Amino acid sequence: MAGELRWDNQVVVVTGAGGGLGKAYATFFASRGANVVVNDLGGSFKGEGGGSAAADKVVDEIRAAGGKAVANYDSVENGEAIIQTAIQNYGRIDVLINNAGILRDISFKNMKDQDWDLIMKVHVIGAYKCARAAWPYFRKQKYGRVINTSSAAGLFGSFGQCNYSAAKLSQVGFTETLAKEGLKYNILCNVIAPIAASRMTATVMPPEVLDKLKPEWVVPLVAVLTHSSNETETGSIFEAGGGHMAKLRWERAKGTILRADDTFTPAALLKKWDGVSNFSEPSYPTGPANFLELLEDAQKLPANPPAEQISFNGKVALV
């Protein structure tokens, strides 16, 4: 069909594709000509147990619809085996969707090392291992498209999800650096914070809301970003859910500068505190501030005021 984005002769690996969002991605890519590796460990949403049924079911559905797919049942912590499934069956890998995930929600006060560690293993180590195993193939063929999966919990914090939030924001830093290292080799990497009805959200959202959050509605964003016609969009963060898609970026306040000398004290900073968090003249950085230039500007300023009683957030402090 004219104008249809397709992935003919390409190989797409989707982790955690036995249900939810991963299944929606896998069935879509297969319907658009891709050879798909349907990876799923098949455990519970808390990361317990495992089995082949979840991945097999999706592969069966894809094949019944005339598509091409193979199953892989490894944990993403064993990314090498997942990527090898693509290489052994189809001889290459073009697109990696790091999607597998679990939850171990609990307040920080009650969190056990096991809750923290398991989340890190699946989300952080899992995404790393899969990308690491795919990377040499991407570099060699000078082509690769990667989607990593973050979450609103990671971007904004979420009560009871300290472990998950930490793991999910790590996907942003991971993606931004992969994007920088991959650019020269035409490896484009983006990170999404989806929201969709799945077994993960079924416990926290009412059915009438879940009805409006179809996993299929996240697919177009993932498709556009992973198609060969995307030649420039990389290192970006996107939200997608309920039909809404939006790019996110960092915002930096104009900030304040102080002369860095003996008078550079807490009092000097409090005198100019308003400027630190004043966003009336923002910039949208893709890298750190130019510290050398700022340092030079600061040295041109007069010495900072001496210590004194000063008001901070309505309280008087001796600084």
| Residues designated as active site | 164
**Stretch of 130-138, 197-205, 232-240, 301-309 contacting ligand NAI, by CB under 6 A:** 197-205
Across the strands, what pairs with 191?
Answer: 148, 237
CA–CA dist 190, 216 (Å, integer): 19
User: Per CB under 6 A, does 151 bind ligand NAI?
Assistant: yes
Using CB under 6 A, which of 11, 12, 14, 21 touches ligand NAI? 21
Residue number, 16 or 182, with CB nearest to ligand NAI: 16
Across the strands, what pairs with 283?
Answer: 252
- List the beta strands (DSSP E) in 111-176: 144-149
Of residues 33 through 62, those in contact with ligand NAI by CB under 6 A are 39-43, 45, 47, 54
CA–CA dist 120, 137 (Å, integer): 25
User: Per CB under 6 A, does 79 bind ligand NAI?
Assistant: no
**Stretch of 190-198, 219-227, 245-253, 281-289 contacting ligand NAI, by CB under 6 A:** 190-198
User: Per CB under 6 A, does 95 bind ligand NAI?
Assistant: no
The tokens for 8 are: 């003919």
Three-state SS letters, 82-128: HHHHHHHHHCCCCEEEECCCCCCCCCHHHCCHHHHHHHHHHHHHHHH
172-181, long-range: CB < 8 A, 24+ apart: 172/237, 174/124, 174/127, 174/128, 174/131, 174/148, 175/146, 175/148, 175/235, 175/237, 176/235, 178/131, 178/146, 178/148, 179/234, 179/235, 179/236, 180/235
How many other CB atoms are there within 10 angstroms of residue 216's CB atom?
A: 13
Residue number, 147 or 258, with CB nearest to ligand NAI: 147
User: Per CB under 6 A, does 131 bind ligand NAI?
Assistant: no
Q: How far is the CB of 285 from ligand NAI (least distance, A)?
A: 25
Q: How far is the CB of 199 from ligand NAI (least distance, A)?
A: 5
Q: How far is the CB of 217 from ligand NAI (least distance, A)?
A: 11
User: Per CB under 6 A, does 118 bind ligand NAI?
Assistant: no
User: Per CB under 6 A, does 163 bind ligand NAI?
Assistant: no
Given the rule CB under 6 A, which residues bind ligand NAI?
15-16, 18-22, 39-43, 45, 47, 54, 75-76, 99-102, 122, 126, 149, 151, 194-196, 198-201
